[in-house]
Amino acid sequence: TPTHLRPVGGMTALHVAASHPHCADASDELVRALLDAGADSDAVDGERMKPIHAAAAVGRVGVVETLLERTTRDDGVAEGDWNASGVQKIVQEKLRAMGIGTTRGGTGGGTGDGDDAEKRKHWAGAEGGPDDEPPYVAKGASDADAAAAKKRAGDEAFVKGADADAIAAYDASLAADDSNAKVWANRAAAKLRQGSHASARRDAKIAREIEPTYVKAWYREGLALTELGDFEGAAMAFFEGMQIDGDNKELKRGFDAAIARGRKAHLAGGGGK
């Protein structure tokens, strides 16, 4: 069963792909991939905004046009007004009501980079990850030497395929120092091999919260989300990893696999608009 985990404000991965600054260069491509994977283009965030509105809020006209084909027309909007400029007008009105301002490139005119940055902060505030769970706050090291020794023991057990022993050693390492992203990510890998996907996902998420540029954490979170059936969230995790290491073939394979499996599940369920 898909988890459909969401980031802060109820935004889905599709909201993030449509509006997040990190996704700007590949936004349209990523949005299309997520749609193919079964992402819900009609999902709303905490402000009752759809991904198409998020894209319009940061002036991504191409993404708006892509989403027009897959998004149900807003209530009260005439069919003739359901186009890129019409959506931008809708969003301008909503942003004004929220006290944020108008969109860059909108028919009402931009109000400057400061307002645009404010809109981006609002619409792309999901940088923390794909759910509403608060970030993990590490306590730090109480016994660094013991933590390092237990990590080595865990790594050795993992290489031998003794996953239960590896997890026990990583547990002990984290009890002595919970600030090491590599230990969290390694425990996630052991849990993935055991089939404990939800727990593995949590460990991987904590790892990349502690060390956001640690690619293995994003990769293992993507693997866990794929196995949990959250193909949209998995694709976003792999995508975030690729922003750090664009040449990483494992991340690319994971991204492609998540999209393919999501599309297959979507079509099997009679999805599509």
Looking at residue 212, the DSSP 8-state letter turns out to be T
- Dump strand ranges (E) for the chain: none
Does the structure show a pLDDT above 80 at 148?
A: yes
**What is d(CA 5, CA 237) in angstroms, rounded to the nearest whole number?**
12
217 contacts 211 by C-beta, under 8 angstroms: yes
Q: How does pLDDT run across 28-54, given as a tens digit for each residue?
A: 888 998 898 888 999 998 888 899 999
Share of the chain above pLDDT 90, in %: 54
pLDDT of residue 193: 98
Amino acid in the structure at residue 53: H
pLDDT of residue 117: 46
> DSSP readout, 126-189?
TTT-SSSPPPP----BS-HHHHHHHHHHHHHHHHTT-HHHHHHHHHHHHHHBTT-HHHHHHHHH
Q: How does pLDDT run across 231-268, given as a tens digit for each residue?
A: 888 988 998 898 899 899 999 999 989 888 888 887 77
**What is d(CA 148, CA 165) in angstroms, rounded to the nearest whole number?**
16
Q: Which residue has the higher pLDDT, 47 or 271?
A: 47
Give the chain's mean pLDDT: 83
Q: How does pLDDT run across 179-234, given as a tens digit for each residue?
A: 999 999 999 999 999 999 999 999 999 999 999 999 999 999 999 999 999 988 89
Q: What are the structural domains of the chain?
A: 8-123 (1.25.40.20), 144-268 (1.25.40.10)
pLDDT of residue 185: 98
Q: How does pLDDT run across 52-99, given as a tens digit for each residue?
A: 999 999 889 999 999 999 999 999 999 999 999 999 999 998 888 877
Share of the chain above pLDDT 70, in %: 81
How many residues in the chain? 273
pLDDT of residue 132: 53
Q: What are phi and psi of 28, to 5 degrees?
A: -65, -45
